[in-house]
């Protein structure tokens, strides 16, 4: 995959080959309905009118542009939906399970399919409701994008952004609740206060309810995740003016920090939004 491309050649090829089974009109309707046009002068040097037609649409897409890629995701969602429908009624299609294969393939590029069938990029991990509830000047979406953008190539920068995203979220939760915080307030205090404000801590669990022990365990672990990312940033992340990069830090470490921070930020913002509504 070209380093700048957000969707790999393998994913594009797999989608194109699936569309070989469609009519030219169906292919055109699919792309045109999502705002794309075909470059009729483009010759991809491929066999078959359908492959050529798909590539003519592909040729008008800037695969490095997030907004255009997000639009393409709707095309891919339609393909998965069509494949699933076919798999229900066609035994041969069911055995091939193209929908699962394609979903796994596109996940490698950083796009996850949610519970309603939407493909969501890593840089868009927040729900639309939570994003709309944030102030226009909020740095949280930008910090999450910076975090995910650096996971592979710059692990220490990703860990630094993960810590900043958690800190910014904790401060947002406190501000939304009408509470103030000191300029130099430490991360553990900010995290604890944010959990307290939202009532998402072990002491807030009603012990008379079923599964209360499990809920207390999960909530306790949630706070530890945020604190752990903060400690990881202290030891490995950017922002300390180190003369040399820390040895031994790999992308798997930054990916773990990013996934942990992403989950914490999403949960806290979704909870804050739900309680405000």
Q: Which pTM value belongs to this model? A: 0.58
Where does residue 2 rank: exposed (0-12), middle (13-18), buried (19+ CB within 10 A)? exposed
Lowest mean pLDDT among 81-85, 210-214, 226-230: 210-214
Six-digit token string for 150: 């650096």
pLDDT at 264: 92
Q: What average pLDDT does the segment 246-256 reach?
A: 75
Arithmetic mean of pLDDT over the chain: 85
For 12-61, what is each residue's pLDDT tens digit? Answer: 999 999 999 999 999 999 999 999 999 999 999 999 999 999 999 999 99
- Through-space distance between the first and last CA atoms of the chain, rounded to whole angstroms: 43
Question: What confidence category does residue 217 fall into, taking pLDDT thresholds of 50, 70 and 90?
Answer: confident
pLDDT value at residue 15: 98
**Which CATH code of 1.10.1760, 1.10.3470, 3.40.50, 1.20.120 fits the domain covering 128-276?**
1.20.120
Please state which of the ranges 30-34, 122-126, 146-150, 188-192 shows the lowest mean pLDDT: 122-126
pLDDT in tens, 90-129: 766 555 689 999 999 998 887 888 888 999 886 666 666 6
Kindly state the average pLDDT of the residues 254-268. 89
Q: Is the pLDDT of residue 146 over 90?
A: no
Q: What is the 3 state secondary structure string of the chain?
A: CCCCCCCCHHHHHHHHHHHCCCCHHHHHHHHHHCCCCCCCCCCCCCCCHHHHHHHHHHCCCCCCCHHHHHHHHHHHHHHHHHHHHHHHHCHHHHHHCHHHHHHHHHHCCCEEECCCCCEEEHHHCCCHHHHHHCCCCCCHHHHHHHHHHCCCCCHHHHHHHHHHHHHHHHHHHHHHCCCCCCCCCCHHHHHHHHHHHHCCCHHHCCCCCCCHHHHHHHHHHHHHHHHHHHHHHHHHCCCCCCCCCCCCCCHHHHHHHHHHHHHHHHHHHHHHHHHHC
Residue of 96 and 159 predicted with greater confidence: 159
Give the largest CA-CA distance in the chain.
69
Q: Select from 176, 111, 110 the least CA-distant residue to 138.
A: 176
CA 89 to mean position of chain CA atoms = 32
What percentage of the chain reaches a pLDDT higher than 90?
Answer: 45
pLDDT band at residue 201 under the 50/70/90 scheme: confident
Give the residue from 134, 161, 131 showing the smallest Cα distance to 148. 161
- Taking CB atoms within 8 Å and a gap of at least 24, the contacts of 156-159 are 156/236, 156/237, 156/238, 156/245, 156/246, 156/249, 156/254, 157/237, 157/238, 158/254, 158/255, 158/257, 158/258, 159/229, 159/232, 159/233, 159/236, 159/237, 159/238, 159/249, 159/253, 159/254, 159/257
Write down the domain spans for the chain: 9-124, 128-276
């Amino acid at each position: 995959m070209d380093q700048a491309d957000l969707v790999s050649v393998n994913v594009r090829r797999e989608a194109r080959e699936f569309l070989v089974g469609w009519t030219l009109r169906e292919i055109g309707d699919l792309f045109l309905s999502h705002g794309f046009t075909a470059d009729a002068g483009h010759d991809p040097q491929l066999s078959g009118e359908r492959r050529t037609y798909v590539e003519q649409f592909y040729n008008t897409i800037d695969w490095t542009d997030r907004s255009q890629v997000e639009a393409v995701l709707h095309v891919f969602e339609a393909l998965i939906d069509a494949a699933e429908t076919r798999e229900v009624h066609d035994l041969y299609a069911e055995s091939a399970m193209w929908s699962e294969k394609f979903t796994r393939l596109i996940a490698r590029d950083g796009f996850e399919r949610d519970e309603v069938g939407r493909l969501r990029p890593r840089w868009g991990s927040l729900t639309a409701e939570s994003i709309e509830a944030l102030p226009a000047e909020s740095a949280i979406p930008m910090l999450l994008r910076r975090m995910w953008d650096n996971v592979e190539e710059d692990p220490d920068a990703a860990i630094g952004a993960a810590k900043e995203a958690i800190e910014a979220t904790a401060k947002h939760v406190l501000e939304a609740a009408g509470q103030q915080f000191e300029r130099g307030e430490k991360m553990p205090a900010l995290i604890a206060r944010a959990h307290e404000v939202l009532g998402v801590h072990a002491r807030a669990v009603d012990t008379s309810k079923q599964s209360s022990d499990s809920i207390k365990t999960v909530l306790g672990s949630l706070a530890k995740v945020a604190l752990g990312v903060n400690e990881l940033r202290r030891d490995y992340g950017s922002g300390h003016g180190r003369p040399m990069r820390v040895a031994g830090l790999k992308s798997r470490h930054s990916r773990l920090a990013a996934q942990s921070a992403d989950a914490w930020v999403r949960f806290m913002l979704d909870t804050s939004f739900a309680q405000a509504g």
